[in-house]
Amino acid sequence: MIIKFSRHAKRRVKLYKIPESAIRKILEATDLDEGEYELVKDISGFMFPIKIVVVVEEEVATVVTNYPLKKGRRK
């Protein structure tokens, strides 16, 4: 599966200092069919879980956005 980041997602990675490699690992480990997904995963080094919004079309996963889920659960 090919993983692409939207312009917005790239800016969120830079803003929140989320490692792009960590997002890629999460997506590769998750079995995704075609459609839209909202994933909430814990990444070491972050106080809050990371929310990742992905759209999968024809073996291409496009990360729409990703950010720390501050209103969600805490560790």
Q: Return the domain boundaries, the chain.
A: 2-68
The answer on pLDDT for 30 being more than 90 is: yes
31-74 pLDDT, tens digit each = 999 999 999 999 888 889 999 999 999 999 999 999 998 865 55
- The position carrying tokens 């490699």 is 21
Give whole-number Cα distances, 70 to 3, 15, 47, 51, in Å.
25, 15, 9, 10
pLDDT of residue 5: 97
CATH superfamily of 2-68: RelE-like (3.30.2310.20)
Is 48 in a helix, a strand, or coil? coil
